A and B are shown apart, each in its own frame.
Chain A
């Protein structure tokens, strides 16, 4: 069985992005036509049967999210696509946005039809300004061909999509922060409840889904939920775009069926092809910077939401950053923590200060100044951040650290004894200097 699939990436690199004629020739907009002949609730049923879990990272069941919004009888409702792909090691949405934008547009349009919404917004990160232009062309082409705008395909349904640009803030990937940003404000997260389905964009009921989630909607609508589910595992329907980076030989985005192993993803000749320089794998960092790190011993874990979770791993955004044996765990975590110091919005203390304190201790470890007491302090800090941070960013910022403390405790202890097993850290400073 091939470990590569093409449910949502079939057009990527094969048709000119944004060309409606080519998109239609390869089956594009068949799903929208089918949806128009279905009751909106029936479309939601298929999404539920498909067991589509949110592809942005949080893995919230898309069918439940859709059902909750459907039950709210308050209009207008807004459709929002989260294209603020800021998670380091993640570049799959970029593939869809730049190479098959019409699939994302079709997915958003089906959602618009289901919820009786007239306006959709796609929030594309500021770093993807060139892709914003590609996407705008696709919107214009779709409108010209009658797939967006007034009375789509001669029906009563009208729908428009507006592009909003980010300006460099990782926290805007958090859905409530993203909505604030679309409203032209600083992207600080909102307190929940109320949930965004009730009080979302411009304080109206709102659906927020990730780019990859929307790209799956036409596939699910066409194939039916059961068929879609069958490509993955019992709990994780369909396929996932994984992003291989770091020390993998063949870095890139691959669409894989759920259920193959991490080892397949990294070593299969069709996928990662092994480690550069044929070195040994030391660990992988999964699902983004806020995801867990796992050692080589866990590589036979099937890549699906349930099995990954039960092994303390995570699918998250689909990022798979591969580290070979030359990487020092402490040095790596310093880099991860610096990222969170920079990206913390500063609103709540556990996140704003916790990351700085963690960084301070990691520096002591890499300088050979740390003591056993510091490891206990690390545990306290991570507990506080996990329990008391305001939003998901702070709650998960220390996941990489806690998982490394679990799997590489010996390496932390070695640093207390002024030894760096990977030979990266420099202990030239005397203790206490």
Chain B
């Protein structure tokens, strides 16, 4: 059994192989994938272990916005485009990230480090415009802040502890 499969098995067992925990299981698998997605192979394992049809797993994977069935960057940068952020110029933030990463919104950098996406409200409207990277939220974004955020994630990637 490969390393990834072992990880998936242990996640499923952590949640007692319970059907009701399907969302949490898939979220954890996605996080452990390193590429922020749930592969077909892992979806198969989940369906088999929980004793549910694969179509049910895909129903959930395609219904909820946080899941992806295609590989994404190691860091997914999500920019809130809900109304409170929109009127505080979220559009400009998108452009700044696009320039800093040299990709368009929706795309992944060639080195697979970053994917740039839109998201619905992340509940940080008091510091809009905001971007969410993993569990972290960055607010009151300016060009300088965005550049240093991108650099800090690049550094983390290139110089592992």
A residues near B (Cβ < 8 Å) are: 85-91, 94, 125-130, 164-170, 181-188, 243-247, 251-253, 285, 289, 319, 321, 323, 327, 332, 335-336, 338-339, 342-343, 345
Given contacts A167-B27, A251-B128, 6 further A-B contacts (CB under 8 A): A87-B121, A125-B123, A126-B66, A128-B123, A339-B83, A339-B120
| B111 beta carbon closer than 8 Å to chain A | no
Contacts of A94 in B (CB 8 A): 123
Q: How many A-B residue pairs have CB under 8 A?
A: 133
| B26 beta carbon closer than 8 Å to chain A | yes
* A184 lies within 8 A of B83 (CB): no
Kindly provide the distance from the CB of A363 to the nearest chain B CB, expressed in whole angstroms.
15
Q: Which of B81, B125, B132 contacts A245 (CB 8 A)?
A: B125
B73-116 at interface with A (beta carbon < 8 Å)? 81-84, 86-88
B11-51 at interface with A (beta carbon < 8 Å)? 18-24, 26-27
A339→B24 CA distance, assembly (Å): 25
Contacts of A245 in B (CB 8 A): 84, 125-126, 128
A335→B121 CA distance, assembly (Å): 12
Q: Which of A90, A128, A169, A336 contacts B63 (CB 8 A)?
A: A169
Kindly provide the distance from the CB of B113 to the nearest chain A CB, expressed in whole angstroms.
21
A135→B84 CA distance, assembly (Å): 27
> Using a Cβ–Cβ cut-off of 8 Å, how many residues does chain B contribute to the interface with A?
37
A87→B27 CA distance, assembly (Å): 22
Q: Which residue of B lies closest to A321 (CB)?
A: B84
B residues near A (Cβ < 8 Å) are: 18-24, 26-27, 56, 59-60, 63-67, 81-84, 86-88, 119-128, 132, 135-136
Q: Which of A126, A168, A169 has the most C-beta atoms of chain B within 10 angstroms of its own C-beta?
A: A168
A147→B136 CA distance, assembly (Å): 31
* A187 lies within 8 A of B20 (CB): no
Kindly provide the distance from the CB of B124 to the nearest chain A CB, expressed in whole angstroms.
6
Contacts of B59 in A (CB 8 A): 185-186
Contacts of B87 in A (CB 8 A): 246-247, 321, 323, 327, 332, 335
Contacts of A187 in B (CB 8 A): 63-64
A181→B60 CA distance, assembly (Å): 9
Q: Which of A91, A251, A336, A345 contacts B83 (CB 8 A)?
A: A336
Q: Which residue of A lies closest to B24 (CB)?
A: A165
Q: Which of A90, A168, A338 contacts B64 (CB 8 A)?
A: A168
Given A126-B66, A169-B65, A182-B20: A88 and B126 within 8 A (CB)?
A: no
Q: Which of A186, A243, A321, A336 contacts B60 (CB 8 A)?
A: A186
* A168 lies within 8 A of B66 (CB): yes
* B64 lies within 8 A of A169 (CB): yes
Q: Which of B22, B81, B83, B124 has the most C-beta atoms of chain A within 10 angstroms of its own C-beta?
A: B83
Contacts of B84 in A (CB 8 A): 88-89, 245-246, 321
